[in-house]
Amino acid sequence: MPTVKKYYAYILPSGEQGIVDAWPACQKLVSGKPNARYKGFTTEANAQAWLATGGDYAAKHVANSGIYFDAGTGRGDGVEISVTDETGADLLQEILPTQKINRHGKHLIQKDVSNNFGELLACRYALELALKRGVMHVFGDSKLIIDYWSKGYINVPNVTRETLELASRVADLRKEFEAAGGRIEHISGDDNPADLGFHK
C-alpha cells in the first residue's frame, strides 16, 4: 500500500508559521513550546487553509453530530486525550474531576503510556459520555482502536496488563452502546473536531 504524503502546518508562539512535509521536522520546531499549534493534513491546500484560520483546531466542516475522541503527544508532556462534541467543545469535564483537566480542556495522562493507550482511554470516555447523554454516534480517527482494541482484540507482544484491562472495559462499554443502537465510526483526522494535531 503506498504511503500517503502528509503535510504539517505549524504556528509558533513567536508568530512564525509554515508547512513541512515530515513529522520529525515539525516536531523539532514545536517541541518544548507549550503554546505552539500544529496539525497534520493530507493536502498542502488544507494545511494552508488551517494556517489561514490562525490555527483554529475547531475549524472543521463536520456534518455529523456526536462525540469525537483523539489522543496525541504533540505538546511534548506525554499522552494527552481529547473528547469533544461536533463543534469542538470539550466534554471531559462532564466525567472527570476538574484537577484532571488541563488548561486546554484536555486530560494529560500522568504516567508513561503509549499513544494507542491514550486513544483507547479517550474512546472509553467518549462511550461513557455517549451513554450518559443518549448520543448515538461516536467518532475517532484510530482504525486500530475502532476495529480491534475497543472490541477487546489486542495482538501486541508485551502489552501491559493495564492496557488489557482497559480494552476489556471499553469492549463492555461498546457492547452496551451498540445494544442501545449506538455506532462507533472511523473518520479522517482532518475531520475530527477532537483532533490534537498529530497523525503520522
Domain boundaries, the chain: 7-53, 67-191
84, 190 contact by CB (below 8 A): no
C-alpha cell at 63: 456534518
Report the distance separating Cα 152 and Cα 145, nearest Å: 9
- Report the percent of the chain where pLDDT is more than 70: 92
CATH no. for 7-53: 3.40.970
Looking at residue 172, its pLDDT comes to: 97
Q: What digits encode the pLDDT tens for the residues 4-54?
A: 568 888 999 999 999 999 889 999 999 888 888 888 877 777 788 778 778
Nearest CA to 112 out of 69, 146, 149, 163 is that of 163
123 or 55, higher pLDDT: 123
β-pairing, 80-85 with 107-108? antiparallel
Which of 50-59, 117-126, 155-164, 186-195 has the least mean pLDDT? 50-59
pLDDT beyond 50 at 197: yes
Range 57-73 average pLDDT: 76
pTM of the full structure: 0.70
CATH assignment of 67-191?
Answer: 3.30.420.10
pLDDT of residue 52: 79
* 67-191 matches 7-53 in CATH topology: no
Q: Which comes out higher in pLDDT, residue 154 or 188?
A: 154
Burial 142-176 (b: 16+ CB within 10 A, else e): beebbeebbeeebeeeeeeeebeebbebbeebbee
What's the whole-number mean pLDDT along residues 58-62? 55
Mean pLDDT estimate for the chain:
87
Query: Residue 44 in 3-state DSSP?
Result: helix
Instruction: Specify the pLDDT at position 200.
Output: 40
**CA 82 – CA 67 distance, rounded (Å):** 10
More confident residue, 129 or 110: 129
